[in-house]
Amino acid sequence: MRALLFILITFMFFTKPYAQPITVELIQNEDGWQLFRDGEVFKIKGAGGENGWDLLVKSGGNATRTWGVGENLMEQLDKAHELGLTVIVGHWLGHERHGFDYNNDDLVKEQYERVKRDVLKYKDHPAVLMWGIGNEMEGFGAGDNPKIWQHVQDIALMIKKIDPHHPTMTVTAEIGGDRIESINTIASAIDIHGINSYGGLPSLLDRYKSQGGIKPVIVTEFGPPGTWEVGSNSFGAPIELTSTQKAEVYKKAYTSGCLDQSDLCLGGFAFIWGYKMEATATWFGMFLPTGEKLAAVDAMTEIWSGKQPKNLSPKIDHFELEGPEVVFQDDEMIINLKVSDPNNDPLTIEWKVLAEASEYFTGGDAQNIPIELDGIIMNSSIEGSTLIAPEPGMYRVYVTVKDGKGSAAVANAPFKVKEDENRTTNRTQSKIKLPLKVYADGAPQPWTPSGWMGNSEKLEMNWEFGEITHTGETSIKVNYKAFDNWVGVTWQNPINDWGDLPGGYNLTGAKKLTFWAKGEKGGEKISFGVGILKSDRKYFDTAFAELKDVTLTNNWKQYSIDLRGKDLSVIKTPFYWTFGSAGFPITFYLDDIQFE
């Protein structure tokens, strides 16, 4: 009897009471389409993002969504359930633009089985609201590949068979092309059409109905107009709204006849409840990377809860680049600024100049944060700043306003520095703010490991995911498969340039370059260095340093290259490695390479 009691107590305290899912139903009645969760009407007040869920709930939100099933999904579902949040669990389906081939039966089957496995694993968790089958997997053209939609249909039918308690949804990039027709006719087992819509949101439902849409809708992403929907300046850079202006866009999402319609729209997800680098450092994020909320969070709090937060974000009342947006190097540029705080909190101002992103439309793919320049801002205050234009290129000046209580405001303006034919090739490069990473997860990567040397046909160099990292999620794996000859790789700026093009960065002030390395077995001898382009090239490195024949161990170890006293005004090749074969293949790993 005591043993039985012990087992019962152990079961109660150490197992999760998730034997039964919370049933979610989709019902069409005289009021239109409605979602019912555990018998109660459920209108989605959601935001996409993996962090800040405590504030999401406090702000009146009740749902979040994932774009795929990660290793920590169970932990996320548990946390959501504790907070009272629901989760649309997304199953990532491969994109053709990323190389996924829907004509490859083996790949398609593998993807199908992966989704099935994940549904079986998580279907009874009470935080699950529904299943999202893919996100913009149809691409950004007509979206008319029938094999994609048949695959979505197959997955939806499979889910319905094994989980009758949760609806199915698929998510498309807006509704152009054949998306609506394909879902209606081919992927008919889909219950809900999820739509990512930004600038077109006010007219979305009218367009949806006129194009034959018959399924209920969830706006799975909404926010400020995308870079593809706004005007550009004279040199093609998109003009970004200030965070104050964006807050009004989020508000109008609920007052423009879309998200407030209950007959067809089941709710929506603000994008993005967190920080994301996409096109610019601030375009879509509702928070700063340092955690401060922006006015978009205030707007959603008022919409969801009916009340404003006690601490409102600062306002940017005026932000303007005075004078031309295209200048020459060393020209003076003036930025005018006017800010205020609804709570009369004292404000601090931060100014930055970042290199412009290389691509504005990424389809949601991750981008590295642009590199930050140093010594460009000559003076600044709460009323504006004065810049000295750097070397030719495209840039963006950012201002960040903070109230010291967890709220902030941001604005930016792009500008271009054009070539001056009267200048010599040995122009002074702008200093880069230190420390600067050559390679690390999520960091700007201003140089590319494109300079392959020696017997490079026998070389593989890839990201390594998983446990073999020093920090973060990835490291660099180097695998040389030959038994003889030599090989090496140098990082370059510009990419693939061996001294024929201007480029590189001014790293004046750096005292050393540090990096972490380990061998597969230990005992591998590798030479590492900074600077490989000599003065016989038109555009060359101004400093050179090397650690020759470093013997690696099979554990991560940090190494340092001394740069004190070196001229670092132009560094085009900031890091390289080389070695001659020891008569057998060699594998080693690199991580966290940076100038300090």
Res. 79 pLDDT band, cuts 50 70 90? very high
Residue 421 pLDDT more than 50? Answer: yes
Q: Which residues contact 261 (CB under 8 A, 6 or more apart)?
A: 205
- The type of residue at 364 is G
Question: In the prediction, which pLDDT does 277 show?
Answer: 87
* Nearest-angstrom CA–CA distance, 325 and 232: 12
How far, in Å, CA of 501 to CA of 493, rounded?
9
What SS3 string covers 250-270? HHHCCCCCCCCCCCCEEEEEE
**Which residues share a beta bridge with 91?**
133
Do you know the residue count of the chain? 596
The average pLDDT across 440-469 equals 84
C-alpha atoms less than 13 angstroms from C-alpha of 213 in its C-beta half-sphere: 25
Query: Do 81 and 290 form a contact (C-beta atoms < 8 A)?
Result: no
Q: Is 313 exposed, middle or buried (0-12, 13-18, 19+ CB in 10 A)?
A: buried
Share of the chain above pLDDT 90, in %: 78
Place of tokens 């152990």: 10
3-state secondary structure 467-514: CCCCCCCEEEEEEECCCCCEEEEEEECCCCCCCCCCCCEECCCCCEEE
Q: Find how far residue 491's CA is from the centre of its chain.
A: 24
Structure tokens belonging to residue 475: 């490291």
Cα distances (angstroms) measured from residue 344 to each of 226, 311, 317, 338: 32, 10, 14, 14
Q: Which tokens hold the place of 292? A: 């401060």
Q: Which residue has the tokens 């902030």?
A: 408
Tell me what the mean pLDDT of segment 360-389 comes to.
86
Distance CA 551, CA 327 (A): 50
Q: Residue 3's pLDDT band (boundaries 50, 70, 90)?
A: very low
If phi > 0 it is left, if psi is from -120 to 50 it is alpha, else beta; for residue 452 that is beta
Joined tokens for residue 380: 């600044």
- Residue 577's Cβ-count burial label (10 Å; 0-12, 13-18, 19+) is buried
Spatial distance between the Cα atoms of 159 and 153, rounded to a whole number of angstroms: 10
**pLDDT score of 15:** 39
User: Comparing 160-164, 407-411, 495-499, which segment has the lowest mean pLDDT?
Assistant: 495-499
Output 316 or 16, whichever has higher pLDDT: 316
pLDDT of 504 above 90: no
Q: Are strands 474-480 and 557-562 parallel, antiparallel or unpaired?
A: unpaired
Q: Look over the chain and give the mean of its residue pLDDT values, rounded to a whole number.
A: 91
**Whole-number pLDDT of residue 13:** 39
pTM: 0.81
How far apart are the C-alpha atoms of 113 and 130, rounded to whole Å? Answer: 18
> Each residue of 16-52: pLDDT tens digit?
556 689 999 999 988 889 999 999 999 999 999 988 9
Angle in degrees, CA 86, 88, 93, rounded to 5: 160
In the predicted structure, residue 554 carries a pLDDT above the cut 90: yes
Residue 454 has pLDDT above 80, yes or no: yes
305 vs 293: CA distance, rounded Å: 17
Instruction: Please state whether the peptide bond connecting residue 21 to the residue before it is cis, i.e. omega within 30 degrees of 0.
Output: no
Nearest by Cα to 321 from 392, 246, 398: 398
Both tokens of 354, joined, read 């970042």
Six token digits for residue 591: 């991580």
Q: Is 276 or 527 the better-scoring residue by pLDDT?
A: 527
At 164-178, the pLDDT tens digits run 999 999 999 999 999
| pLDDT of 11 over the 50 cut | no
**Contact, 197 vs 249, CB < 8 A?**
no
Q: Which residue type occupies 414?
A: P
Structure tokens at 107: 């790949």
Max intra-chain CA distance, the chain: 95
- pLDDT tier at 195, thresholds 50, 70, 90: very high
Helix (H), strand (E) counts: the chain: 9, 32
Q: Residue 427 above 70 pLDDT?
A: no
CA atoms of 143 and 171, how far apart (whole Å) = 12
- Give the CA radius of gyration of the chain: 27
SS3 category, 155:
helix
Categorize the per-residue pLDDT at 5 as very low, low, confident or very high, splitting at 50, 70 and 90: very low
| Per-residue pLDDT reduced to its tens digit, 562-583 | 999 999 999 999 999 999 988 8
Lowest mean pLDDT among 125-129, 346-350, 423-427: 423-427
pLDDT at 573: 96
Element (H, E) at 409: strand 408-418
* Secondary structure letter of residue 140 according to DSSP: S
Give the 3-state secondary structure of 102-123. CCCHHHHHHHHHHHHHHHHHHC
DSSP track, 280-309: BSSSS-SB-TTS-B-HHHHHHHHHHHSS--
Q: First-to-last CA distance in the chain?
A: 66
Q: Which helix or strand (DSSP H or E) is residue 148 part of?
A: helix 146-162
Which pair of structure tokens corresponds to residue 426?
Answer: 């040995």
Element (H, E) at 438: strand 436-439
The DSSP line for 346-400 is: --EEEEEEEEPPS-S--TT---PPPPBEES-EEEEETTEEEEE--SSEEEEEEEE
Residue 293: pLDDT band with limits 50, 70, 90: very high
- Who's near 385: CB < 8 A, 6+ residues apart? 334, 335, 337, 351, 377, 378, 379, 397, 399
The secondary element (H helix, E strand) that includes residue 74 is helix 73-83
Separation of alpha carbons 418 and 474, rounded Å: 37
Give the mean model confidence (pLDDT) for residues 222-230: 94
Most confident segment among 51-60, 258-267, 460-469: 51-60
